Amino acid sequence: MTRKVKGSPFALLKHCVEALLVLLFMYTGFSKLFALEDFTGTLYNQPIPHVFVPLLTWIFPCLEVLTAGCLLFGRTRRIGLYSSLALMILFTAYIGAILLHFFHKTPCSCGGIFRTLTWPQHFAINLGLIMLTCLALFQGRKPQGPPSKTISSPINSAT
39: in domain: yes
Arithmetic mean of pLDDT over the chain: 85
- Asked whether residue 92 is domain-assigned, the answer is yes
Rounded Cα–Cα distance for residues 127 and 133 (Å): 10
154 domain residue, yes or no: no
Question: End-to-end alpha-carbon separation of the chain, Å?
Answer: 56
Single pTM value for the model: 0.80
Range of the domain at 34: 9-140
CA distance 55 to 105: 21
Per-residue pLDDT of the chain (159 residues; tens, 9 = 90+): 555 556 677 788 899 999 999 999 999 999 999 999 998 998 898 888 999 999 999 999 999 999 999 999 999 999 999 999 999 999 999 999 989 988 877 767 666 677 788 889 999 999 999 999 999 998 856 555 555 555 554 555 555
Q: Is residue 158 part of a domain?
A: no
Q: Residue 107 falls within a domain, yes or no?
A: yes
Q: Is residue 63 part of a domain?
A: yes
Backbone angles phi, psi at 41, to 5 degrees: -60, -45
Q: Residues 6 or more apart from 140 whose CB is under 8 A from it?
A: 7, 8, 10, 11, 14
Confirm whether 70 is domain-assigned. Answer: yes
Provide the domain count of the chain. Answer: 1
Task: Centre a 10 Å sphere on the Cβ of residue 94 and count the other Cβ atoms it contains.
Answer: 20
Q: Is residue 153 part of a domain?
A: no
